[in-house]
Amino acid sequence: MKEKLRHFIFSELIFHEAPETFGDADDLLEAGLDSMGIMRLIMFAEKEFSVTLPDTEIEPNNVRSLNALEQWIQLAPRA
Per-residue pLDDT tens digits for 34-48: 999 999 999 999 999
pTM of the prediction?
0.93
Q: Report in angstroms the alpha-carbon separations of 17 from 4, 63, 67.
A: 18, 21, 21
Q: How far apart are CA 50 and CA 30, in angstroms?
A: 28
Domains contained in the chain, CATH given: 2-16+24-75 (1.10.1200.10)
Q: Name the pLDDT band for 69 (thresholds 50, 70, 90).
A: very high
